[in-house]
């Protein structure tokens, strides 16, 4: 990775912009769905905003549903006045924007009230609040996301199913090719462009594989601190979509984009270390610590109650079904991928738990925050983990919500998480997700037209 492509700690933003010939900066504010909202501004205006803090965005940016409609607010006066938020760029995130054209850069910005209080509905602030709980205990969370996605042929008509793109051999994949190197090579031009863009933007990518679905790929991120990695997941999504379009394809991070194919996940590997870097999940004898057991116990208790953070859309629940390459349970086991919680093989320093339930469509800030908060509550409440599962955990009865409606009801009632994440976030997130569910339930689908139109 070329470390000069992103701003290093202590470096001068003005000098960095000049060094890279940057004339435009996109200030990015991730919303509830992980959609990047914000403003594009000339480099000079960006530098001025760093000094006078006079960069604003309407607060309704956090109240936009996935289809672009405003969802309003429980406070009608607030909704109609739509006051501004102050956008404060996090200069540590300043990086090149290779897929957006020459002379452009990205920077993430945080939202604040005019009196400098954090705008706590912001997903970046939500994750920060959870990380602060860890800091107060002298802990540091280490995470590593794994993100699956599909390359598809362009899909101009949303009423028609997605199809695989034409690969280098002139044919579209029609069968599964899991871990097949020759199949991966069919998409070498777009893969090379993705890696080039990622290197230019300073993304810590690790390995890439061909997954189970037709033209389905998975990228692994190197482990690190939670907040920067959440930023980089969203940048990766944006860069990958740009790279795919420039290759005549689309890239989708839908949880279940193709009915007969595997869903796409965002597996989260998590470990906790102390201030000296020592693991808190394994003892000197290499055995699991009591804390690790409680952490898993917390995930088992709270993940089913906060599923909208891991399955944020109606489509998400089409992925979480037994034998559909996604666990439909909250069982744990060592190196068993049919379990929702997997402890990968590895020595003491690598002791971690993998939450396999989040979909690729989840907001990375909220999925990471929810996972870490569930584990934290497990440690605080000394929750015991269940007996280790064995064999095919797909056969175990699921305790997860089966629909978005049930998930939102359970999320609303989860008081321990609600108290720690705060009403500002909860009210905003529930508003957006409830409106999206209502909009979806008003749609007549092709299945209904196909099977009911001339039969009922």
Most confident of the ranges 73-77, 347-351, 448-452: 448-452
Contacts of 405 (CB under 8 A, 6+ apart): 437
Structure letter (DSSP) for residue 282: B
The strand pairing partners of 88, in sequence order, are 110
DSSP assignment, residue 371?
H
pLDDT surpasses 70 at 8: no
For position 132, what pLDDT does the model report? 98
The answer to whether residue 100 scores a pLDDT higher than 90 is no
Residue 421 CA to residue 141 CA, distance in Å, equals 17
- Check if the beta carbon of residue 375 is closer than 8 Å to that of residue 292: no
pLDDT in tens, 221-230: 999 999 999 9
Helix, strand and coil content of the chain, in percent to the nearest 5, comes to 40, 20, 40
φ, ψ for residue 321, nearest 5 deg: -135, 145
Given a cut of 60, is residue 85 above it in pLDDT? Answer: yes
Q: In whole numbers, what is the pLDDT of the chain averaged over residues? A: 93
Sign of CA pseudo-dihedral 63, 64, 65, 66: negative
Smallest CA-to-CA distance from 137 within 273, 289, 284, 228 is with 273
pLDDT tens figures, 204-256: 999 999 998 999 999 999 999 999 999 999 999 999 999 999 999 999 999 99
Going from the N-terminus, what domains does the chain have, and what CATH number goes with each? 3-119 (3.10.20.70), 130-439 (3.30.590.10)
Specify burial of residue 169 (Cβ count, 10 A radius: 0-12, 13-18, 19+).
Answer: exposed
Q: How far apart are the first and last CA of the chain?
A: 60
- In the three-class reduction of DSSP (H, G, I as helix; E, B as strand; rest coil), residue 450 is classed as helix
**pLDDT single digits (tens) 312-343:** 999 999 999 876 678 999 999 999 999 999 99
State the pairing for strand pair 266-274/139-152.
antiparallel
Q: What is the DSSP letter of 178?
A: T
């Amino acid at each position: 990775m070329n470390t000069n492509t992103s701003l290093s700690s202590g470096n001068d933003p003005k000098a960095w912009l000049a060094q890279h010939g940057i004339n435009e900066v996109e200030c990015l504010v991730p919303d509830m769905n992980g959609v990047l909202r914000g403003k594009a501004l000339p480099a000079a205006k960006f530098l001025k905003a760093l000094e006078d803090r006079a960069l604003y965005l309407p607060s309704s940016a956090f109240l936009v549903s996935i289809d672009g409609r405003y969802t309003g607010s429980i406070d009608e006066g607030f909704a109609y006045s739509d006051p501004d938020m102050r956008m404060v760029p996090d200069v540590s995130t300043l990086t090149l924007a290779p897929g957006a054209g020459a002379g452009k850069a990205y920077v993430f910005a945080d939202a604040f009230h005019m009196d400098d209080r954090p705008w706590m509905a912001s997903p970046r602030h939500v994750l920060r609040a959870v990380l602060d709980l860890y800091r107060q205990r002298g802990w540091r969370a280490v995470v590593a996301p794994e993100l699956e996605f599909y390359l598809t042929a362009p899909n101009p008509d949303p009423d028609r199913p997605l199809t695989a793109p034409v690969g280098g051999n002139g044919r579209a994949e029609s069968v599964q090719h899991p871990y097949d190197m020759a199949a991966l090579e069919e998409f070498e031009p777009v893969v090379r462009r993705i890696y080039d863009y990622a290197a230019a933007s300073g993304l810590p990518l690790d390995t890439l594989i061909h997954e189970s679905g037709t033209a389905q790929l998975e990228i692994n991120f190197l482990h690190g601190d939670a907040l920067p990695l959440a930023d980089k997941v969203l940048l990766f999504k944006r860069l990958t979509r740009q790279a795919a379009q420039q290759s005549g394809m689309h890239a989708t991070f839908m949880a279940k984009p193709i009915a007969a194919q595997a869903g796409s996940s965002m597996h989260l590997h998590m470990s906790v270390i102390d201030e000296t870097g020592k693991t808190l999940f394994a003892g000197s004898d290499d055995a699991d610590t009591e804390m690790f057991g409680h952490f898993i116990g917390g995930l088992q208790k709270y993940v089913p109650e906060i599923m909208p953070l891991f399955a944020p859309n109606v489509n998400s629940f089409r992925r979480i079904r037994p034998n559909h390459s996604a666990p439909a349970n909250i069982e744990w086991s060592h190196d068993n991928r049919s379990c929702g919680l997997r402890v990968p093989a590895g020595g003491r320093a690598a002791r971690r738990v993998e939450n396999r339930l989040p979909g690729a469509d989840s907001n990375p800030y909220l999925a990471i925050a929810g996972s870490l908060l569930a584990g934290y509550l497990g440690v605080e409440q000394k929750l015991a983990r269940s007996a280790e599962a064995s064999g095919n955990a797909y056969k175990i009865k699921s305790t997860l919500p089966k629909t978005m409606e049930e998930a939102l009801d359970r999320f609303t009632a989860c008081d321990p998480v609600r108290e720690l994440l705060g009403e500002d976030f909860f009210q905003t997130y529930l508003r957006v997700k409830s409106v999206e569910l209502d909009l979806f339930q008003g749609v007549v689908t092709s299945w209904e037209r196909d099977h009911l139109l001339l039969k009922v």
